[in-house]
Amino acid sequence: MKPLKLLIANRGEVSIRIARAAADLGIRTLSVFSQDDSSSKHRYFTNEAFSLSGSGPKAYLNSEEIVKIAVENACDLVHPGYGFLSENSIFSSLCREAGIRFVGPSSETLEILGDKAKALSMAESIGVPTLPGIRRSVSLDDAKDFFVSEGPMMIKALAGGGGRGIRIVRNSEEIDGAYSSCSNEALSSFGNSNLYVEKFLSKARHLEIQILGDGTGDVVHLWERDCTLQRRNQKILEIAPSPFVPDKIRNRILDSAIRIAKACNYKNLGTFEFLLDADSLDSFYFMECNPRLQVEHTVTEEITGLDLVQLQLRIEMGSSLKDLGLSQSSISLPNGFALQVRLNSEIIGENGEPKASSGEISVFEPSSGPGIRVDSAAYSGYRVTPNFDSLLAKLIVRSKSESLKSLFHSAFRALGEFRVEGVPTNKDFLLTLLQRKELEDYSVHTRFVDEHSSELLKSQAKSRIPWQDLSGVKKDISKSTSKIEVPEGAVVFHSPMAGRLLDLFVSDGDPIRKGQKVALLSSMKMEHILNSEYSGYIEKIFSTSGQDLGEGEPILLIRPEEGVGEEETENAETDSDAIRSDLSEVLHRLSLNEDEARVQARAKRHKRGQRTIRENISDLCDSGSFTEYGALAIAAQRRRRSLEELIKMSPADGLVAGLGTINGRFFPPQYSRAAVLGYDYTVFMGTQGAMNHKKTDRFLRVVEKEKLPLVFFTEGGGGRPGEVDVPAVAGLDLDTFRQYAGLKGGSPRIAIASGRCFAGNAALFGASDIRIATLDSNIGMGGPVMVKGGGIGNFSAEEIGSSSDQAKNGVIDILAKDEREAVHLAKKSLSYFQGRISEFLSSDQNLLRKSIPENRLRSYDIRSLIDILSDTDSVLELQKEYAKGMLTAFVRIEGRPLGLIANDSRYLGGAIDADAADKASKFLRLCDSFGLPILFLCDTPGFMVGPEAEKKGLVRKAAEFFEAGASLKVPFFTIVLRKGYGLGAMAMAAGSFHAPVFTVSWPSGEFGAMGIEGEIRTGYQKELSEIKDWNERQKLFESLVKEAYERGKAINMASYLEIDAVIDPSESRKWVLRGLDSVQWNRVG
């Protein structure tokens, strides 16, 4: 049987560690290295080594190339180490799809535990304590709201680890800066800028439990590690087991970790991290899980005697814990302690901020002796670059003594003997830390190092290597290059950063001016021009082109001399109006998108009585506020058309997207901000192309993250054929429609349809919160071609989904005469979600006293009543032609926006049928989603009854009306205008007359468990049937009705406290305003 082959997808010391473990199991190994990492030692510890195509960390993140190397070399396993791809579920899936075993948890487990919010939610679901927090990606506003309710908090990256993307916020002024910093750092470190927040525990110990599972449900712990000593959230010293933790609390934490691991059927090695209250040592909180090998796994190996990497490999090769002879009882109690310190190549600034150092290591002599272990890939002659992590070596010290003091003494001695020269390190800083008295009883917390940073820097211990005085050995660590003799009056021009010297622009003896460029340096893939700080002459050149330089290494020797030339200032005579060629090219391309460059297309639109998409957006957004995204996109048809042709035919690939402000005259910037999307019908008839979809998806992510209201012009014909540049069969894996639907409830989405809107365009129109369409619109899930192709028949576009049909069935919320009016109505619709306005007019409220006829059987114009009650010209009705017995509208009262629901007695006497219930339910959810309070105007005999009514699913839709009311989070109020009978009336008060902030009635109100006439006919059926004379029977009936009416009058209803008051109709506005002012809620605006 041939030996297994393992590819190690990592570098440095962890790659060596894995290679050694695999070799001891008889597994052949392959390593990889980036172009700039060819001198790294790890490549020589494997049977084979392969060069990656890129440089820096990106090369080790190229999952496709790494999997390709593994496949081409018939590898059976891939070990990701830690960092890089170790928690990447996509990489894990790629390996398994290629038939290669990924040494670690399943991709499904990585997907859950790699998302901290999901991991926290899972822990909470099984009763493991966590800190208060928001278990999802949060916006800046979410973070601010959380701070108000919880106080000091941590802002954290949802993905990744290593202390990156984390900030503490102690006061509200810090939130904006901390949020931005965390987001940027998370994006650059993990490719994911999403953040979450949780309450800040000011004094905490950081414990992590080492877990091992075999995927069968069998899980064991290998005790815990203490990682409390951190600098800026990054671990610098780890101990196992955790000192001075009561056994009772230790066992509870261990049990919690086991429970979480079993809940996700954990397989392989994992670390479950917890915070422990450092003051009381009796409260703990689950923080996150790292589903991989940890940097500090070494201390667990020292106290257990187990090789964790070999265990990883054997489990991935099919062994169970039972096969490995591992059960919880077989893992003995730790004896003594193990400690790890991280020796980094770094320079620590006066503010305590570490900065990676670089240069060539001239001497590298690790400590040795009993109880000492060093994991490192460094060596004498190795050149440290700033391209990778600054970790040089891990020094692990094992002590069988139960005394912490003895452990720290051993660590101090071993670290003092560790000799590194040629690059600055944090060695002295660590030595000083190891001498702190607080470590002896471990009275430390996670902020200890940061809080004592200035003290640690001021009193840095200087290590004395025992043999450093031997002849020829002593060397000043701070001087990595041979000393330079500097003549009196001359100055050395140093390299300001580590990098490669690409060019020198001066020679020996050249005169130079202050500000003159003297050299070109490449660092971190950027070229930096180095300018002289002096005028004078070049006296000596120390470096040559192509040479790698460390920070501070000498380049030139300059003898300053005044009067040599004049000071150079870059761009001193630059014309600020001048346009460079690269900018000119961009401006020209963008100009081709404008209507002025597309005269024929614009004329065609105008001839049809329509406007261009850019004219509509210009009318929609405040002047000068629109900023366009993706304007340079073109159709994905480069294989069938020339670039010039596509630029002309498909500007912006037929989709204009951008940010702007709407209604900025009435609302401040934070409320007038908005997003706009619009299909351009002059580009392939507004169809959805590949780049068009890609732009939509990108833009919708911005909309979701920033919770932006969106106005979407959806005219167009659906999917676009002929996109030959994109490999696809059916394109059913697109995310656009799911993503757009997923925005529901986040921020308002207003769609405008004009002309033809079919298929995918119609799907987006239909998924919007408010749907506006022009009279000439036709909207359908399939256009004429699709209808014909389905064998349904030949129809013109005008015969499919006319605006009149779609208004009657509720698809269209608001009908507009043309695009101009549609844009006006979109702005008006959006304004209700933007807040209150300060300028308003209203009608004489005494007119309301006459709005209800004295004859209780006579219908009336409810719209006229609403117009009087509301601010002048503030009513915007939705779905006017659908379910006419129920009126839904946005209104304002004294400038404040509300949603209004009213019964219309002119249709079914105000009875609520299935369509009316459906219309009301959806409107309630719309208002509730976006924080609009709701006013019910009740005048209903109840729910419609009878065989025909039930055919439309009334039972379910009536129940949904109740469900929508019961789930309301916004304030709501009910005014009974006239009839308030039965379940229908209760639904008009969100389920109960005691549910609203107030339920009041006008004097015309009448109430009952059911309609009065029906109640009498049912309750007095026997008595009425016994009277043979019709006139006499009718007299009795009318008498009984009169009695019931008196019993159900509003005044009597109020006397039983079933309603809150009977009011003068002219005071209705006053009641609504008092109600709004009396509740606590998240107001719109």
CA dihedral in degrees (460, 463, 468, 472; nearest 10)? Answer: -40
pLDDT of residue 479: 38
Torsion sign (Cα): 231, 233, 237, 239 = positive
The mean per-residue pLDDT over the stretch 633-661 comes to 93
CB atoms within 10 A of CB 328: 13
- The per-residue b/e assignment along 1044-1079, b for 16 or more CB within 10 angstroms, e otherwise, is beeebbbeebbeeeebbebbebeebbebbeebbeee
The mean per-residue pLDDT over the stretch 921-925 comes to 98
Q: Which fold has domain 131-330?
A: D-amino Acid Aminotransferase; Chain A, domain 1 (3.30.470)
DSSP 8-state class, residue 171: S
* 768, 750 Cβ separation under 8 angstroms: yes
Distance of CA 141 to the CA centre of its chain: 13
% residues pLDDT > 90 (the chain)? 71
760 phi, psi to nearest 5 deg: -60, -35
CB atoms within 10 A of CB 1034: 12
- Cα 555-561-564 angle, rounded to 5 deg: 100
Distance of CA 352 to the CA centre of its chain: 31
pLDDT of residue 344: 94
CA-to-CA distance for 482 and 493, rounded, in angstroms? 16
The superfamily CATH assigns to domain 609-832 is: 2-enoyl-CoA Hydratase; Chain A, domain 1 (3.90.226.10)
Highest mean pLDDT among 128-132, 286-290, 505-509, 814-818 belongs to: 814-818
Domain 491-560, second-level architecture: Beta Barrel (2.40)
CA-to-CA distance for 420 and 305, rounded, in angstroms? 29
pLDDT of residue 470: 47
Contacts of 914 (CB under 8 A, 6+ apart): 944, 949, 952, 953, 954, 957, 958
pLDDT of residue 1031: 85
CATH code given to domain 844-1005+1049-1077: 3.90.226.10
Multiple choice CATH, 5-103, 3.40.50.20, 3.40.50.300, 1.10.3720.10, 3.20.20.70: 3.40.50.20
Question: Considering the chain, what is the average pLDDT of its residues?
Answer: 91
Per residue in 797-841, pLDDT tens? Answer: 899 999 999 999 999 999 999 999 999 999 999 999 999 999 999
For the ranges 420-434, 439-453, 566-580, 845-859, the lowest mean pLDDT is seen at 566-580
Contacts of 245 (CB under 8 A, 6+ apart): 205, 207, 226, 276, 281
> What does the block give as tokens for 929?
């989603």
Q: What's the CATH class of domain 344-458?
A: alpha beta
Per residue in 104-149, pLDDT tens? Answer: 998 888 888 878 888 998 999 999 999 999 988 999 999 999 998 8
Per residue in 838-855, pLDDT tens? Answer: 999 999 999 999 999 999
Confidence of residue 872 (pLDDT cuts 50, 70, 90): very high
Confidence of residue 749 (pLDDT cuts 50, 70, 90): very high
**Does position 430 have pLDDT exceeding 90, yes or no?**
yes
Whether 609-832 shares its CATH topology with 844-1005+1049-1077 is answered yes
> What pTM was computed for the model?
0.56
**Does position 726 have pLDDT exceeding 60, yes or no?**
yes
More confident residue, 1080 or 435: 435
pLDDT of residue 473: 39
Contacts of 689 (CB under 8 A, 6+ apart): 635, 636, 650, 653, 654, 720, 723
Per residue in 513-552, pLDDT tens? Answer: 999 999 999 886 678 899 999 999 999 999 988 888 888 8
- Cα 570-574-579 angle, rounded to 5 deg: 125
Contacts of 394 (CB under 8 A, 6+ apart): 13, 295, 298, 340, 341, 342, 343, 374, 375, 376
**Does position 472 have pLDDT exceeding 50, yes or no?**
no
The mean per-residue pLDDT over the stretch 209-217 comes to 95
pLDDT of residue 567: 57
For the ranges 161-175, 480-494, 601-615, 644-658, the lowest mean pLDDT is seen at 480-494
> 756 by DSSP, 3-state: which?
strand
pLDDT of residue 652: 95
pLDDT of residue 475: 40
Residue spans per domain, the chain: 5-103, 131-330, 344-458, 491-560, 609-832, 844-1005+1049-1077
